[in-house]
Chains A and B, each alone.
Chain A
Amino acid sequence: MKSFRKMTYPYVVWISFIVVAPMFLILLYAFTKEGNAVMDFVFTLDNFKKFFVDSVFIDVLLRSLRVALVTTVLCILIGYPAGYFIAKSSEGVKMRWVLLITFPTWINMLVRTYAWVGILQDDGIVNNILSIIGVRSITLLHTEFAVILGMVYNFLPFMILQIYTALTKMDNSLLEAAADLGADRVRSFLKVTLPLSLPGVLSGITLVFLPAVSSFFIPKLLGGGQYVMVGNLIESQFLTSGDWNFGSAISLIMVIIIMISLYLTKKVDKTELTERRAN
């Protein structure tokens, strides 16, 4: 085993360059501002102050959290029935559905999101169809609706697959046992299926909420200029305004928010388990 361990060294070096070093740079930038001729870096908390004092930025953060939350809830509402339906299908049908759901992810996310631009824009497919049937065209692109639609569309497969996996792992004899003990279908679902699929829902939430809250190209493409989210803010700090220090500070805030939400999901998962034992 020892000799094999050596083979990981190049990987460790690579990871340090690609991941660890940039992280340190972000940390460094976030707590400094551009110095003068004597000193290159000056330590400061101004970047954070700027974010929390200016309500514009807080608004952006809250908007991001709200959009991500709405996306996640919609993904659960659509994903749970879908995952349940697939898990209860026969073996062959199951495979076909799973393939169908994963199939779009083989195409680049950016390309798929551009496709939505084509569908939603003012002279796009939706409005064309509406004009044919004589309905006045409506603005779809560059609205919150478009952004959430794009996010649900992109992240839904993760939710469905997580729930589907959790449900297929469940032993069918548990449902027979519940029926045997007097539970009708609704109560079997509420007392057995649902609690046992909760871990799948939680990991689905992690997989949907996190990318949704930090996504930047979906709001950029589907939300247009008006619809700024944290991801877009960070992007513009680095690419447009050139304020790397402020951009790094926002990134760091996002990292902390993500860590807190990860911790919370883990905790819910754990209390679920311990509660089961304690009660």
Chain B
Amino acid sequence: MKKLIQFKNIVKNFDGTLVLKGINLDIYENEFVTLLGPSGCGKTTLLRILGGFLEPDEGSVIFDGQDISGIPPYKRDLNTVFQKYALFPHMNVFDNIAFGLNIKKEPKDIIEQKVMRMLRLVGLEDYSKRGIHEMSGGQQQRVAIARALVNEPKVLLLDEPLGALDAKLRKEMQKELKKIQQEVGITFIFVTHDQEEALTMSDKIVIMKDGEIQQIGTPVDIYNEPINRYVANFIGESNIIDGVMKDDYKVIFENKEFKCVDSGFNKNEEVDVVIRPEDLDIVTPGKGKLRGIVKSVLFKGVHYETIVETSAGTSITVKMTVSEDKPVKNEEANEMMSANDFYIDTLDIDELTDAVIIDRADAQAWNPETEERISITEVRYEVKKEKGSYPVTFSTSAGTSFTVNMFVSDVNKVVDEDYGEEIYAVNFFKKVDEIQESVILDTDLKVWANAYAYDLEDETSVAITDVIYDFDPQNITPGVYDVTFKTQGYVYKVDTTEKSEAGQAVGLMFDPEDIHIMRK
């Protein structure tokens, strides 16, 4: 096949932001090439440079052996299907399609023949006299394609042409576009952010990110052999696990050694391991290569999407002391007041304010008849930066007061080096009715225990996915209970046709060729 278009080191910046950082790309004759990437990755900019609507700051575009930089769009032998079609509203379907031929001053009868042929190709023979606004989105789309193709360009550029159509119509148009491309036999360059669209239609996919090309390949190559984490995540769904390449064809992840088909890595090189959800099978626990617990099962039509956790995340357990509510009553002022004991870290003492103390102690005062809340005007306490218990007295302006204990303790945290995470939480005191009345108990427990998890490396917060306790919130009695907070461990997404139950212990099975190793 012959090289039709060559992008050579294309650089483009808009107001100081680099949109394209040196793109090199060859496109061959009769190829269906898809530029794929999220919005802002530069794919449309690249297309517009090829169309002649933008000039690159550096680099050159070679079209059919000729440098076309500086040649205006109307002299380029390619046509574009625009994102919002850009059909001429003052012309009917026929005139829209005939526009390019009229400009070239072709004879009337030839124009008529060519336009009718195009209308037949896109299945709109009976619509030639229609106004543009009388056409549906899908029909306008076809007119736009016909208007571009009628000029018999060497290349057709399509800028997210299916974006405005609904899901069903999109699928139809995908098939149709592919069919048209095969029929007219010219190069199509298609821009999209939809990976499924790219996989179904393309001969070649170019994956872009932040103005750079990540990977170029056939749909099958890119799906099976993604070059990095970004591509693996963008194309299809994948399980990506941290691993170490022990030797050629030997990879270690989850502290186990597995056979694989990849080689050429350094010894003990840290790698990303990809296993596609459909390559994993659920078997009985003893028979799998990995063991895990089913976390959730989603029905997806053809298959079940099952989430299996193979190793638990970082967890911390705290004590919750539950007591009956015993508010004090100030008969004179007609006020009630309550609060509870609370724990606090030695580290938090420096940042202690009245508001924090009221919040931690859940101190409140109210009028027993109207239930109206009354402000707490004074918080009296003395505290030293060492472990122990310190009394705290809350009072209102009417003189009602309540005293609780503030327990200062060491920072309660668990560090997990394997995951690179740490998790904090403190013991806490609660009233029976507060637990019974909570409608979002998991969230409330996190707030009451002040539970947080952090990534050790970049200090970003990590979600606490599980809150585990073994009491019945509705019938809780005073006493001390354990509450455990846990982050997400290693989880695998498995697509199978068999249904599993959440909580079930299962084994995960895969073959060496299902594992794909990527450089970090």
- Residues on A lying within 8 angstroms of B by beta carbon are 171, 173-174, 176-184, 187, 191-192, 195-196, 272, 276-279
Pair B92/A183 contact, Cβ less than 8 Å: no
Q: Is B100 close to A, CB under 8 A?
A: yes
Pair B84/A177 contact, Cβ less than 8 Å: no
Pair A171/B86 contact, Cβ less than 8 Å: yes
Given B52, B86, B94, B131, which contacts A177 in the complex, CB threshold below 8 Å?
Answer: B86
**Chain A residues whose CB sits within 8 angstroms of the CB of B86 once the complex forms:** 171, 173-174, 176-177
Q: Which of A176, A178, A180, A184 neighbours the largest number of chain B CB atoms within 10 Å of its CB?
A: A180
Pair B147/A181 contact, Cβ less than 8 Å: yes
Given B73, B88, B129, B151, which contacts A179 in the complex, CB threshold below 8 Å?
Answer: B73
Q: Is B89 close to A, CB under 8 A?
A: yes
Pair A183/B74 contact, Cβ less than 8 Å: yes
**Chain B residues whose CB sits within 8 angstroms of the CB of A192 once the complex forms:** 88, 90
Q: Which residue on chain B has the smallest CB distance to residue A274?
A: B131
Q: Which residue on chain A has the smallest CB distance to residue B94?
A: A279
Known: A173-B82, A174-B86, A278-B129. A180 touches B73 (CB 8 A): yes
Q: Is B51 close to A, CB under 8 A?
A: yes
Pair A176/B73 contact, Cβ less than 8 Å: yes
**Chain A residues whose CB sits within 8 angstroms of the CB of B72 once the complex forms:** 179, 184
Main secondary structure of the interface of A (DSSP, over half): helix
Q: Is B80 close to A, CB under 8 A?
A: yes
**Chain B residues whose CB sits within 8 angstroms of the CB of A191 once the complex forms:** 99, 103
Pair B74/A179 contact, Cβ less than 8 Å: yes
Restricting to B76-106, which residues have a CB under 8 Å from any CB of A? 79-80, 82-84, 86-92, 94-95, 99-100, 103-104
**Chain A residues whose CB sits within 8 angstroms of the CB of B75 once the complex forms:** 182
Pair A177/B51 contact, Cβ less than 8 Å: no
CA distance A174 to B53 in the complex (A): 13
Return 30 A-B CB contacts under 8 Å, by A number.
A171-B86, A173-B82, A174-B86, A174-B88, A174-B89, A176-B53, A176-B82, A176-B86, A177-B87, A178-B88, A178-B99, A179-B53, A180-B79, A180-B80, A180-B148, A181-B79, A181-B100, A181-B103, A181-B147, A182-B151, A183-B103, A184-B74, A191-B99, A191-B103, A192-B88, A192-B90, A276-B91, A276-B95, A276-B131, A277-B92
CB distance from B513 to the nearest CB of A (A): 46
**Chain A residues whose CB sits within 8 angstroms of the CB of B148 once the complex forms:** 180-181
**Chain B residues whose CB sits within 8 angstroms of the CB of A176 once the complex forms:** 51, 53, 73, 80, 82, 86
Pair A277/B129 contact, Cβ less than 8 Å: yes
Pair A181/B90 contact, Cβ less than 8 Å: no
CA distance A177 to B88 in the complex (A): 9
CB distance from A184 to the nearest CB of B (A): 5
Q: Which residue on chain A has the smallest CB distance to residue B150?
A: A181
Pair B95/A177 contact, Cβ less than 8 Å: no
**Chain B residues whose CB sits within 8 angstroms of the CB of A177 once the complex forms:** 80, 82, 86-88
Given A173, A180, A196, A279, which contacts B95 in the complex, CB threshold below 8 Å?
Answer: A279
**Chain B residues whose CB sits within 8 angstroms of the CB of A181 once the complex forms:** 74, 79, 99-100, 103, 147-148, 151
Pair A276/B80 contact, Cβ less than 8 Å: no
**Chain A residues whose CB sits within 8 angstroms of the CB of B53 once the complex forms:** 176, 179
Pair A277/B79 contact, Cβ less than 8 Å: no
Pair B92/A182 contact, Cβ less than 8 Å: no
**Chain A residues whose CB sits within 8 angstroms of the CB of B95 once the complex forms:** 276, 279
CA distance A176 to B83 in the complex (A): 12
CA distance A37 to B130 in the complex (A): 68
**Chain B residues whose CB sits within 8 angstroms of the CB of A276 once the complex forms:** 90-92, 95, 131
**Chain A residues whose CB sits within 8 angstroms of the CB of B87 once the complex forms:** 177
**Chain B residues whose CB sits within 8 angstroms of the CB of A182 once the complex forms:** 74-75, 100, 103-104, 151
**Chain B residues whose CB sits within 8 angstroms of the CB of A171 once the complex forms:** 84, 86
CA distance A178 to B88 in the complex (A): 9
For the complex of A and B, the 4 pairs showing the least CB-CB separation, nearest first, are A181-B100, A177-B86, A173-B86, A179-B73
**Chain A residues whose CB sits within 8 angstroms of the CB of B84 once the complex forms:** 171, 173
CA distance A174 to B144 in the complex (A): 12
CA distance A191 to B91 in the complex (A): 10
CA distance A181 to B86 in the complex (A): 12
Pair A180/B51 contact, Cβ less than 8 Å: yes
Restricting to B133-162, which residues have a CB under 8 Å from any CB of A? 147-148, 151
CA distance A192 to B86 in the complex (A): 11
Q: Which residue on chain B has the smallest CB distance to residue A179?
A: B73
Q: Which residue on chain B has the smallest CB distance to residue A188?
A: B74
Task: Bits for B116-140, please: 1 = Cβ < 8 Å to A, else 0.
Answer: 0000000000000111000000000
CA distance A113 to B517 in the complex (A): 83
CA distance A182 to B90 in the complex (A): 18
CA distance A242 to B94 in the complex (A): 62
**Chain B residues whose CB sits within 8 angstroms of the CB of A183 once the complex forms:** 74, 99, 103
Q: Which residue on chain B has the smallest CB distance to residue A174?
A: B86
Pair B82/A279 contact, Cβ less than 8 Å: no
Restricting to B49-84, which residues have a CB under 8 Å from any CB of A? 51-53, 72-75, 79-80, 82-84
